[in-house]
Amino acid sequence: MRIGIIGSGNVGGTLGKRWASNGHTVFFATRDPESAAIRTLLTESGPTAAAGPLRDAVAHSEIVLLATPWPVTRQMLESAGDFDNRILIDATNPLAPDLSCLECANTISGAESVAQWAPTARVVKAFNTVGNNVMDDSAFSAPVALFYCGDDASAKQTVAPLIRELGFDPIDAGPLSQARVLEPFALLWISLAVKYGFGRDIAFQFLRR
């Protein structure tokens, strides 16, 4: 396929190189095709890669990868010309500059509300990311990750074995504010299980290498 890349940094550069080495024709959008970074990228990508103006990256491609830093995303799209029904793969994330949250995302979580409503409790968020059928029987082909988070280290040390003894791999995701990502993660499980055809016998393994 002919693939245009908008945003030739870590993500766009990596994917463009890999697709080019698989034989796709890759066009990196750039204002400066002679820059050292682009020249290195083209050398590493091989003969099916080229670089040039943003509008050409769209016009010459069947499919476009969007991998821009969030703050420039709107401007880049509005400068890209007509997409004319092309596929646009959006690989961006609307991250706040300090990576602490998404710009259009939660600034509170259920767990943090719970901690306000139970002020003398040491709250640990856990058992919210898979369905009760998985809690009842955690046997999959690989260990199922069970994330937890909280602000009290000793409370988390107490909870982790209660997770492990049910057959899960307990993953400490950090402070209680991490419930802002663990609660949407639950919604991923729920939506796949209930709305998008996967059924309730699904789970996630956490992989490390």
**Residues within window 43-82 making contact with a copy of itself, judged by CB under 8 A:** 63-67, 70, 73-74, 77-78, 80, 82
Among positive and negative, which fits the CA dihedral 39, 76, 6, 11? Answer: positive
CB of 37 to a copy of itself, least distance (A): 14
DSSP state of 47: T
Residues 41, 28 contacting (CB under 8 angstroms): yes
Residue 47: CB minimum distance to a copy of itself, A = 18
- As to burial, measured by CB atoms within 10 angstroms (0-12 exposed, 13-18 middle, 19+ buried), residue 103 is exposed
Check binding of 202 to a copy of itself (CB under 8 A): yes
Within the chain, what is the greatest distance between any pair of CA atoms?
A: 64
99 binds a copy of itself (CB under 8 A): yes
Query: Contacts with a copy of itself in 105-134 (CB under 8 A)?
Result: 105-106, 108-111, 113-114, 117-118, 120-128, 131-132
| 173 touches a copy of itself by CB under 8 A | yes
Nearer to a copy of itself, 32 or 94 (CB): 94
Told to check if 31 binds a copy of itself by CB under 8 A, we report no
Asked if residue 153 binds a copy of itself (CB under 8 A), the reply is no
Cβ 129 to a copy of itself shortest distance, Å: 9
Find the length of the chain.
Answer: 209
Query: Is position 160 an interface residue for a copy of itself (rule: CB under 8 A)?
Result: no
Q: Which 3 state secondary structure label does DSSP give 135? A: helix
Among candidates 26, 30, 6, which has minimal Cα distance to 16? 26
Among 43, 90, 153, 164, binds a copy of itself (CB under 8 A): 90
Q: Measure the CA–CA gap between 184 and 180, rounded to whole angstroms.
A: 7
**Angstrom distance (rounded) from CA 67 to CA 64:** 10
Structure tokens at 40: 């290195």
What is the closest distance, in whole angstroms, from the C-beta atom of residue 52 to a copy of itself in the complex? 19
Measuring CA to CA, which residue among 17, 21, 94, 25 is closest to residue 61?
Answer: 25
Does residue 206 bind a copy of itself (CB under 8 A)?
yes
Interface with a copy of itself (CB under 8 A), residue from 15, 29, 38, 49? 15
Q: Which of 55, 135, 151, 169 binds a copy of itself (CB under 8 A)?
A: 135
